[in-house]
Amino acid sequence: VRIHEANLRVVARSILKHAGSASDEARVVADHLVRSNLAGHDSHGVGMLPYYIRFLSRGTLMPNTPARLLKDDRAILMFSGDRGYGQRVAREAMCSAIERCAETGVVLMTLCTAHHVGRIGTYGEQSLDAGLVSIHFVNVQDHPPLMAPFRGSDARFGTNPICVAVPGSATTEPVLLDMATSKIALGKARVAMNKGVPVAEDEVIDHRGRPTRDPGVMFSDSDRGALLPIGEHKGYGLGLACEILAGVLSGGGTIAPVNEQRGAIVNNMLTILIDPGRLVDLAWMRREIDAIVAYAKDSPPVDPSEPVLVAGDPERLRSSERRTEGIPIDPKSWADIVQAGASVGLDPATTDRLSRGTPQS
């Protein structure tokens, strides 16, 4: 199926409201999920709703929970998400950090114990809207580990993402690097499995540490495989850095089994916000960004049909395509979403009607 973004927002909002969220929270979470789909990151889009409904029923995701300020020390802000929807609490924590950055020029913000914060690029975009540079390190807890350490044969880390956002200029789009430290995100394996297609070589190993292209090994209860880190020892090192920067410095903790697992997806995030105008002349910075991005993109492509891009371009291209063509959702993922809605009292016929209606906002 292909669903118009506005209709998908309405469906996601309805499911979230039936699952107990107040209107504002449902709007923020639904908007984040649909924007992830628009950006092409279906792994962090509306396909997460069935998981969220399961975690709500287990009491490991707490609806209607705001970000709670733990510490305010001028350029240091620490928050706890208290297992509230990550899309909401991270947005609130970012709003406070952005406001503070206007005074202090730089802010170190931590957020511990948020339920799944979703696509980290969303927070990069929030800071870009304020003209700021942002750097985010994230770790994952309360979920079985997914990524093997370099030379290891089983999973010991989450897919620990890192994001760097840098404003563009009048002619250059912002640079938005937003990446898991695993070669693929777990959700990409889920989407591949639901579509019945293999993953690429060297992305996944089976439960004995042998290479495989079967995404299903990541979802086996008994013989679970592992995702491999990007860049061998270097990606592994970055994943470990996320455990320490996001997990330890936020106070939330790491994925190590010394910390209790209750079965959900909990994220800790360390964010550095920088007001670039406090460091350099902004007009000069924009000329430099224009120059370096143009220089990179000017490299003759190996394959003429695949020009050089910069981080953020694929998501922008995908968004403009999906805004007009609609968001594709594979039949299995859609059936799971409809079922998740039904489990919280949203009639499947209503979900179907909302998904097909004249687009509304």
Does position 209 bind ligand NAD by CB under 6 A?
no
Within residues 275-294, the interface with ligand NAD by CB under 6 A covers: none
Residue placing its CB nearer to ligand NAD in the complex, 97 or 147 = 147
The gap from C-alpha 150 to its chain's centroid, in whole angstroms, comes to 23
Does position 311 bind ligand NAD by CB under 6 A?
yes
Closest distance of CB 312 from ligand NAD, Å: 5
Using CB under 6 A, which of 22, 244, 256, 309 touches ligand NAD?
309
> Tokens 């460091």 sit at which residue?
279
Within residues 142-181, the interface with ligand NAD by CB under 6 A covers: 159, 161, 176-180
Helix (H), strand (E) at residue 292: helix 282-297
Closest distance of CB 293 from ligand NAD, Å: 11
Within residues 33-52, the interface with ligand NAD by CB under 6 A covers: 41, 43-44
With CB under 6 A, what is the number of residues at the site for ligand NAD? 28
Within residues 239-278, the interface with ligand NAD by CB under 6 A covers: 267
Cα→Cα distances 248→101, 214, 221, 241, 253, Å? 23, 34, 29, 10, 5
User: DSSP assignment of 181-231, as one string?
Assistant: SBSS-HHHHHHHHHHT-PPPTTSEE-TTS-EE--GGGGG-SSS--EEPBTT
Q: d(Cα 53, Cα 47) in Å, to the nearest integer? A: 11
Closest distance of CB 177 from ligand NAD, Å: 4
* Interacting span for ligand NAD (CB under 6 A) from 65-73, 92-100, 239-247, 309-317: 309-317
Within residues 124-143, the interface with ligand NAD by CB under 6 A covers: 138, 140
**Interface characters, 185-204, with ligand NAD (x: CB under 6 A):** x--x----------------
Q: d(Cα 243, Cα 361) in Å, to the nearest integer? A: 39
Say if CB 176 and CB 163 are below 8 A apart: yes
Q: d(Cα 207, Cα 222) in Å, to the nearest integer? A: 9
310 SS3 class: coil
Using CB under 6 A, which of 63, 121, 167, 253 touches ligand NAD?
121
Closest distance of CB 4 from ligand NAD, Å: 22
Using CB under 6 A, which of 45, 63, 118, 247 touches ligand NAD?
118
* Closest CA relative to residue 126, chosen from 92, 154, 162, 83: 92
Q: d(Cα 97, Cα 38) in Å, to the nearest integer? A: 26
Residue type, 180: A
Dihedral angle computed from the Cα positions of residues 353, 359, 360 and 361, in that order, rounded to the nearest 10 degrees: 120
Using CB under 6 A, which of 83, 119, 190, 322 touches ligand NAD?
119
Does position 312 bind ligand NAD by CB under 6 A?
yes
Closest distance of CB 345 from ligand NAD, Å: 28
Per CB under 6 A, residues contacting ligand NAD are 41, 43-44, 116-121, 138, 140, 159, 161, 176-180, 184-185, 188, 267, 309-312, 314-315
